[in-house]
Amino acid sequence: MADGAVPRTTFLTVAEVADMLRVSRMTVYRWVHAGDLPAVRFGRSFRVPQQAVDIFMENAALAGGYPAEDDGRAAGAVG
């Protein structure tokens, strides 16, 4: 960064993050609302900084995977 230029932040849509991580868009929204994945609100949509996704993936790899989705049902429950 010559001449004191500020680095540009690349923002991703929720759909782009979901595609990258191979999860549903709803999972990304849950992570954003839970504070697990930082995001910025632009109007009615969220944008996630690329760097936040990179850090999230590093932390998930160190922890052994992504945070589990909890839909309130017991494992193996039907219905």
pLDDT digits (tens, 9 = 90+) for 12-30: 999 999 999 999 999 999 9
For the beta sheet containing 40-42, the strands, ordered from the edge strand earlier in sequence to the opposite edge, are 11-13, 45-49, 40-42
Q: What whole-number distance in Å separates Cα of residue 4 and Cα of residue 6?
A: 6
Point out the residues of the chain with pLDDT beneath 70. Answer: 1-3, 66-79
The per-residue pLDDT for 72 is 57
Position 34 scores a pLDDT of 95
Please, what are the domains in the chain? 9-63 (1.10.1660.10)
* 70/31 Cα distance (integer angstroms): 12
Name the helix (H) or strand (E) containing 63: helix 50-63
pLDDT exceeding 70 applies to what percent of the chain? 78
Instruction: Provide the Cα torsion 21, 32, 38, 51; round to 10°.
Output: 10
